[in-house]
Chain A
Amino acid sequence: EAGVTQFPSHSVIEKGQTVTLRCDPISGHDNLYWYRRVMGKEIKFLLHFVKESKQDESGMPNNRFLAERTGGTYSTLKVQPAELEDSGVYFCASSHLGQGGSPLHFGNGTRLTVT
């Protein structure tokens, strides 16, 4: 079984530019999550998709962040325009649909550096 795949593994952009991160979940996983870890801080929840619908986007920092999951398969997270404080590691995770007990499988993350 292929794991959660994230592209790119590393991105360096200038302040004001746009970046799009992609996540391919494990096949058959309806739950898809985005998390972020900024330097020196803990990993924090951004949002949760169930299939193509946003279940919970309470962790999204502001309207410069846009997440989509067209067709309920892969997901993208776009940052536009990027700011210095957006630098960090963005993780995607997926799991089977269910009320509990289904473990989250994390990708290796995209390391974003905004200069």
Chain B
Amino acid sequence: QKEVEQDPGPLSVPEGAIVSLNCTYSNSAFQYFMWYRQYSRKGPELLMYTYSSGNKEDGRFTAQVDKSSKYISLFIRDSQPSDSATYLCAMSAGGTSYGKLTFGQGTILTVHP
């Protein structure tokens, strides 16, 4: 069983829709939770990161972490065609292992005009 499970999609939505992306994990040691966006032929770009449980909002993006359920989510409001990309969840135990990320497989998102 993978440490991090993420539905690869693909997910296709109309412009303006609310998008919900999710990951589940099994390692209780994970303390830092990140969402990366990756465009084709580019490297992952950090969107959001959260320490421990709770919510974090940044513009149209909201990240939620529920450590009791080992479940994290990313919501995108008023989705735009420019949001079309692969979204990767990633997590780490922190400390000296902060940068040792365990990634999900990524969800391919397409937003249609």
Within 28-62 of B, Cβ neighbours of A (below 8 Å) are at 31-32, 34, 36, 41-46, 49, 51
A43 contacts B49, C-beta separation under 8 Å: no
Could you tell me the distance between the alpha carbons of A43 and B91 in the complex, rounded to whole angstroms? 12
Is B87 part of the binding interface, using a Cβ–Cβ cutoff of 8 Å? Answer: no
CB atoms of A99 and B106 under 8 A apart = no
* A100-B94 in contact (CB<8A): yes
For the complex, what is the distance from the CA of A99 to the CA of B93, rounded to whole Å? 11
Using a Cβ–Cβ cut-off of 8 Å, how many residues does chain A contribute to the interface with B? 28
Known contacts A42-B2, A42-B105, A43-B88: A106-B43 contact under CB 8 Å: yes
Closest to A58 in B: B100
Q: Is the CB of A102 within 8 A of B98?
A: yes
Once the chains are docked, how many angstroms separate the CA of A69 from the CA of B2? 31
Contacts of B42 in A (CB 8 A): 108
- B69 at interface by CB-CB < 8 Å: no
Residues in A neighbouring B51, C-beta threshold 8 A: 100-101
B99 touches A48 (CB 8 A): yes
Known: A41-B105, A42-B2, A103-B49. A56 touches B43 (CB 8 A): no
Contact sample, A vs B, 10 pairs, CB 8 Å cutoff: A33-B100, A41-B105, A43-B103, A56-B97, A99-B98, A100-B32, A101-B51, A103-B49, A106-B36, A108-B41
Which A residues lie at the B interface, using CB under 8 A?
4, 31, 33, 35, 41-45, 48, 55-56, 59, 91, 93, 95, 98-109
